[in-house]
Amino acid sequence: MDKLQHQTMVKGSVKQQFGRKKSIVGKTIPYYPYSPEREYQRFVKAYLKLLSQELHKSLPSLMSRYKKGLQATTRYDDASNLRKAVTDEFADISSRLEKKLEVLELEKSLEKISKATKDAAYREWKRVVKKTLSVNLMDDYYNGDFYLQMLQQWVSENLRRIKSIPTETLNELENVIFEGYSNGVTVEKLKQVLQSKYDISKQHALVIARDQIASLNANMSKLQQTDAGVKRYRWSTAKDQRVRACHDELDGKIFSWDDPPEMWYETKSQGVVYTGRCCHPGEDICCRCVAIPVFDYETVDVPIDGDPPQ
């Protein structure tokens, strides 16, 4: 069956659902993949826990060396000695951590998380198509290479990001110590600053995890829909307190997959500020919005097999 024959067959199968209408909006809202999001967050927490453990092992010796430096009478000479001692200790943390991280099997874990996101995205797409057009999508069609390139790209990009977290965090903490020393910060105060810097890094990592699941889900939705002849979607927010004003205003409106709306935010002094970034649902940072497909009878071409409609 060629593409045209397939499309004709699909039109025959869904004709009844359309009736005299030219298009139908999806009759149910696809769920946002909260479960893979939690899985990625758990993974990031476990990852950072190892970093934190190794840091704590080295903290007493780092702090006693720092204290000694503060008390030194010739601080100018001691500054370079301290720098070397701290750098060595951090290099040590880094190499201990690298061994520890092997047990987490980074690549395998990321592959598992990406697969969970894919399964969720496919399950939702299948559910919306079934509920709206009363046809069953062909599992085989999606089990092949359909998502392959997207998943591989996501895994390698996330591997790069995840791997850079310890290095970046350790570099920042190292700088906190050097700065503290130049400013004569006490040991107690230094510990506080180190802790809050670490907390910021952790929050940042958790934000990345959420954002990465949202954007993978967004990319998959776009691929699933456009591949099936869907040209437009209806924007749908999570409808809770966390939804930002811009997305709240887009909620319920229809957009083309070729022409995403521009994002904006609002400040007290400047009012509405357009960011210049155009996004589909889920593409803006940590966005939990989803795209409800709008099926047009003229272009609808969902992958179903040739069985007559039931």
Binding site for Zn ion (CB under 5 A): 247, 287, 289
Least distance CB 57 / Zn ion (angstroms): 41
**Of residues 264 and 297, the one with the C-beta less far from Zn ion:** 264
CA 279, 109, 157, 139 dihedral sign is: negative
Least distance CB 290 / Zn ion (angstroms): 9
Least distance CB 188 / Zn ion (angstroms): 42
Angle (nearest 5°) at CA 29 between 23 and 34:
150
Phi-psi region of 286 (alpha: psi -120 to 50; beta: other; left: phi over 0): left
**Of residues 202 and 244, the one with the C-beta less far from Zn ion:** 244
Q: What are phi and psi of 44, to 5 degrees?
A: -65, -40
- 8 Å CB contact between 76 and 22: no
- 8 Å CB contact between 266 and 206: no
Least distance CB 50 / Zn ion (angstroms): 33
Least distance CB 298 / Zn ion (angstroms): 30
- 8 Å CB contact between 310 and 133: no
Least distance CB 209 / Zn ion (angstroms): 17
**Of residues 190 and 286, the one with the C-beta less far from Zn ion:** 286
CA distance 289 to 275: 18
**Which of 267, 270, 269, 289 shows the shortest CA–CA distance to 280?**
289
**Of residues 93 and 287, the one with the C-beta less far from Zn ion:** 287
**Of residues 261 and 309, the one with the C-beta less far from Zn ion:** 261
CA distance 287 to 247: 9
**Of residues 118 and 288, the one with the C-beta less far from Zn ion:** 288
